[in-house]
Structure 1
Amino acid sequence: MGMSNGGVANDKPFKIFVGYDPREDVAYEVCRHSILKRSSIPVEINPIVQSELRSNGLFWRERGQLESTEFSFTRFLTPHLANYDGWAMFVDCDFLYLADIKELRDLIDDKYAIMCVQHDYTPKEATKMDGAVQTVYPRKNWSSMVLYNCGHPKNKVLTPEVVNTHNGAFLHRFQWLEDEEIGSIPFVWNFLEGHNNVVEGDPTTFPKAIHYTRGGPWFEAWKNCEFAELWLKEKQELMKGSKEIIPK
């Protein structure tokens, strides 16, 4: 790693912003717990809460039909929220971390404006089951976990004004950047439940962060998804711990 210490002074906590949706409060809490529990470095975890951003005048765009969560667009305020300084991570709340976040921070390379898992989304079928044409989104899911080099000059573009006025394609496909300014991270840090696979006997395929992209075990319909038991175990531990800490 000689060339870069990730732009992170070791005494400064690593900033992590988690997409928050009131309907998935428990997902946020479990995600946060899973990071803190395993981290060997100081981290500062903040939820990105849309209602707070609105009352602070940082977010004013109307919600579009295609936005499934409250953090569809607010995620791109990460560099602004980090004062355009140092590195910070954004992650959706539907993640469960299974590894030390230091391992991820150590992959940081200052030559990039952002780094993320570059999922290759090419659906095998041209049409969906019902005959509808399959839409292929370039860079689908790339924006669900991003390490932002907040001090990088290119990321100064991400002002609240731009985040509120530019379209989804511009933001989610990182069109303010050149391709070579986007660094790649191994897929195990954004392991898509139902899409990525563990190869038996190959530890490089075992998830370090599971992304319950189709819906997680906090929804009744998804309580039997792959890796559900890991999430439920983490939740149980969180509940047990919070009872011990907080005097009722």
Structure 2
Amino acid sequence: MTTSNGNAPQGANNGGASKPFKIFIGYDPREDVAYEVCRHSILKRASIPVEIIPIVQSDLRQKGLYWRQRDQFESTEFSFSRFLTPYLANYEGWAMFVDCDFLYLADIKELKELVDDKYAVMCVHHDYSPKEKTKMDGAVQTVYPRKNWSSMVLYNCGHPKNKGLSLEVVNNQTGAFLHRFQWLEDNEIGSLPFVWNFLEGHNKVVENDPKTSPKAIHYTRGGPWFEAWKNCEFADLWLKEMEEYMKEKKSNAS
């Protein structure tokens, strides 16, 4: 299942008929509505062609691409399958992985324009130690170095180092190796502005400073689709986007 916005390429940087920018979104059946709203928020604002592909664990298992056993600390079905992004993109061009618990408030074109071919990956370099013991619907909140770095990543899929994310590595390596980007040197991990992975409950908007205004909100502790987090910060923005998505879905079905 893939979705495209069908927008025509814009701007000189696209070189005419450029390929759609591939965006892989982590999918978990418990958070189906979060996936749909994240997808909707990207497509609605995108001024460049994008192709959205959900990373669905059951599909990957059926195709023989994912076989590792579920770990007790995995809070979502895409905790490790996310690292198949370069493989799923055929180790070509740039592609993005993002958790489903994101809400995009800006054009993805702005983010894509930040790519730098000298890096193997680019992400927000968070320094994040959550205080909560649980998140989402009661999942254990783990703390580890580079936490949340892997929640939104621009992958330079053709970079030689990303060939290191083979099926065998993704299915057998430790969580520490994968989530800390240990197949790379530190200077191969580019940095992105935090507003593209704005952690609800952690990052703050500074008054009169537009550089702190979120372009993508990450409901990492849990979003309004969970009862326990229905009153979290920026819940109103997510609920508004959900209402728009539901109206469009109903309209398209009629």
TM-score, with normalisation over the residues of structure 2?
A: 0.89
Corresponding position of 1:113: 120
Q: Answer whether contact 2:73 2:142 (CA < 8 A) is retained.
A: no
Q: In 2, Cα distance between the equivalents of 1:9 and 1:54?
A: 37
The superposition leaves residues 13-68 of structure 1 with CA deviations (integer Å, 9 ceiling, x where unpaired) of 00000000000000000000000000000000010000000000000000000000
1:131 alignment partner in structure 2: none
Return the letter of the residue paired with 1:29.
E
Does residue 227 (structure 1) correspond to residue 238 (structure 2)? The answer is no
The residue type equivalent to 2:189 in the other structure is I
Task: Please tell me whether residue 236 in structure 1 is matched to residue 243 in structure 2.
Answer: yes
1:244 CA displacement:
1.1
1:147 aligns with 2:147: no
1:121 positional shift: 2.8
Percent of aligned positions with the same letter in both sequences? 80
Q: Say yes or no: does 1:202 pair with 2:206.
A: no
- Residue equivalent to 2:137: none
Q: Tell me how far apart the structure 1 counterparts of residues 199 and 44 of structure 2 sit (CA, whole Å).
A: 22
State how 1:66-105 maps to structure 2 within 5 Å. 66-105=73-112
CA distance in 1, matches of 2:17, 2:127: 33
Query: For residue 35 of structure 2, what is the amino acid of its counterpart?
Result: Y
Q: What code does the residue aligned with 2:212 have?
A: T
Q: Which runs of 5+ in 2 are unaligned?
A: 1-12, 134-140
Q: How many residues align?
A: 234
Give the letter for the 1:144 counterpart.
S
Distance 1:232 1:174, change over 3 A: same
Deviations 1:168-210 (A, max 9, x none): 0000000000000000000000000000000011000000000
Q: Does 1:192 align with 2:199?
A: yes
Question: Counterpart in 1 of 2:8?
Answer: none
Looking at structure 2, the residues matched to 148 and 64 of structure 1 have their Cα atoms a distance apart, in angstroms, of 25
Shift of 1:122: 5.5
For residues 16 and 85 of structure 2, the distance between their equivalents in structure 1, rounded to whole angstroms, comes to 19
TM-score (norm 1): 0.91
Q: Distance in 2 between matches of 1:159 and 1:42?
A: 28
**Structure 1 outlier segments of 4+, above 6 Å:** none
Q: Which runs of 5+ in 1 are unaligned?
A: 129-133
